[in-house]
Amino acid sequence: MTLAEAKQLARELATQSGQALEDYLYILQETLEINPAEMNLYSSRELSSQQKDIVLDYWAKRGNGIPAQYILGYAYFYGRCYSVNPSCLIPRPETEGLAELALQRIKPGSTVLDIGTGSGAIAITICLEAPESIVTASDISEAALISASANAQSLGAKLSFHKADLFPNTSSNYDLIISNPPYISPSDYDKLPVHIRLNEPKNALYAAEEGLYYYRRILEAARQYLNPGGQILFEIGSNQADAIKSIAKKLDYAFVEIRQDLAGLDRYIIIDRD
């Protein structure tokens, strides 16, 4: 099978399965270790028997709804490759914006807490991009923490991980608390694509109280963990900014700022302790 024939088969399978063509092509290029330009340049290239078997196996899994990143076993975030599996949420491109906002605020020696670390992508990025910071990460999922710790080790990041329901049971205080918590409301969860609902961990997506449950809990407790002048950074749902801002103001946080993602949607919120 040539590369051109593989691409044509990908189009047919995507149409049959209803899954995105770009996922089939992404699996093909990652398996062959080529970039999109080379996909077009070497259309007459023959796939080896082993490559063909792997691609067809991966495509069958994608056709059954398994996300491409779980099939391949990795995802990219902030230019680095992270091992991912169904114990943790697949890192999204918009979450890189949250990491960027954090990096803009970190000074040498800053103490940072990442709540709900999942694969560890945010915490590890901060640790590697701001090596003089002191980073702590928490998650309630033991399986997610195993994945995050493995990613930190493979990428050479030195930080501490804690199993906790939000805040670690330590005496530490932080200059910055950052979180991309579960924020999908019950009604919106039912509208998610089937491949997300069936494969990604529900406890990393779903939140009660119209998606506000974890924002409220973090804000109610965060003041006692923040140093004077400290900040909280959240990734949020595009329709949640006003509700979270209202919670923060009722709890007497000093300043709230909403930032947009690259698509122009409300996606991040910055909250000052005082």
pLDDT of amino acid 79: 96
Tokens of 63: 């056709």
Q: Which residues of 93-130 are buried (b: 16+ CB within 10 A; e: fewer)?
A: ebbbbbbebbeebbeeebbbbbbbbbbbbbbbbbbbbb
In three-state secondary structure terms, 69 is helix
Q: Which helix (H) or strand (E) holds 245?
A: helix 241-250
Sign of CA dihedral 48, 49, 54, 57: positive
CA distances from 69 to 30, 72, 85, 102, 151 (A): 10, 5, 8, 25, 15
pLDDT of amino acid 108: 93
Tokens of 55: 């691609």
pLDDT of amino acid 188: 87
Tokens of 230: 């400290």
Between helix 93-105 and helix 121-129 the angle, nearest 10°, is 40
Q: Are 222 and 168 in contact (CB under 8 A)?
A: no
pLDDT of amino acid 197: 85
Give the span between the Cα atoms of 229 and 216, in whole angstroms: 20
Give the span between the Cα atoms of 63 and 181, in whole angstroms: 29
Per-residue pLDDT of the chain (274 residues; tens, 9 = 90+): 999 999 999 999 999 999 999 999 999 999 999 998 998 888 889 999 999 999 999 999 999 999 999 999 999 999 999 999 998 999 999 999 999 999 999 999 999 999 999 999 999 999 999 999 999 999 999 999 999 999 999 999 999 999 999 999 988 899 999 999 998 888 888 888 887 888 888 878 888 899 999 999 999 999 999 999 999 999 999 999 999 999 999 999 988 899 999 999 999 999 999 8
Q: What angle do CA 182, 183, 184 make, to 5 degrees?
A: 110
Give the span between the Cα atoms of 146 and 119, in whole angstroms: 9
Helix/strand/coil percent split, the chain, to 5: 45, 20, 35
pLDDT of amino acid 21: 95
Q: Provide the Cα torsion 256, 90, 102, 100; round to 10°.
A: -110
pLDDT of amino acid 199: 84
In three-state secondary structure terms, 32 is helix
Q: How far is CA 235 from the centre of its chain?
A: 10
Give the span between the Cα atoms of 140 and 207, in whole angstroms: 14
